[in-house]
Structure 1
């Protein structure tokens, strides 16, 4: 081999070396689906050690059903739901494939989910769950039910003035052509009776701070303009945030210590440490 050929081989190998260093390897993980948000392409997964983390997933992620294959002839991420146990692959912290190795339920008999709550073309339904977000500008509400979040289109905005993230609501839908629309929306109350950090015996008056302010420590599950979902001591609670600067400081997955207050029955984060 001539010295010129040898030098060409060495230079080619050197040129390829940086690419090998930069390329991120495909990694693997496993866990149970806790909740999934198709609008934001995020999924909460509980690993074998019981830790819950929020992951982003590719819109075109491949889905395979090792368990229950006969029930999912054309599998997609829309078929994923709690409490499925999945193996997944990811690169750059984004999941690209799921393998459902255990359904965790009998299809058609999901615990806590009635068939009437599933979307079927032309079929009206009634859905009850927790209001996680709403946007008066586009007349849409997002409701978490059956371990998943779903967006509904309103036709009447007159009730939106009384909505607050964290409320327990019920919607009844009807179809207009190809569109499913909310015909009726009712507020049933807040999700849960005692927010994290407050005991059932607490009867402090509502205020903008002062004696009613309390502190807690928890993990940021979700951040939106309408509120922040925090997980404290294993329970999730939605808080409003009036200061946009506070919202910009929050990152999903972070564990923070925060101060919150009850203002006329609605919970607000007033400070983050």
Structure 2
């Protein structure tokens, strides 16, 4: 099932995308069943109980339907409790350039702010503070079941589904003097600007993604293929990430885990090739759809 949100920023409502492209509005269907849920995070928290109602709504020809091309699709999970991102998880991304890799048991974890979320076709804004804004295509894992100290063997039981994401990064803001003086790193600032976390176009439920550890990841800038990787390249796989992160903080329904990016980011080119006003960025992951957005100066 492909779960989406639709509507204006800050007012997105949950829906399901059908094969024909229509969005089935879930709030009215749930309301008729005596369930008042307007937020995707709330929906995921009770997914096992409400899924039969959702499936009936999709099958019901009387359900409210909206053409997908007539409405803005928002981030599939617009109001997560937290966005956890993983650094250095693809050796081809950082091994040659920074001489750094992640531990197989303790991945590098940092945060992106929820306000950085944007929809799959929303414009990404280049902030005036940066001249080195870069793209990072990533598989996003969305948590559906709360847990702490989750065992690796149980990790997939806590996954609601998967979506495409882009960990947009202002390299100069994030690093600054931090490469020489690590205590001055500004990772959250450099990755937390508004629109710096496009996600979508939808959240594909876990039952429709049987092999999330073998997904092809591709990203184009102005029709030029820049990133061409596979989630099988991750140093720490999805169960390992969930096990490690949950050992130090609880994972809650709606939390988003960005799993790292493969080679091909702009800063790795010589000279670097950062995003510029007017660029078009497209990303595709088989089974998860495509996401495309324009880049504009602030």
Q: Same fold (TM over 0.5)?
A: no
Higher relative contact order (CA 8 A, sep 6+): 2
Alignment TM class, shorter chain as reference: under 0.3
Computing the radius of gyration from Cα coordinates, the structure with the larger value is 1
The structure where strand makes up a greater share of residues is 1
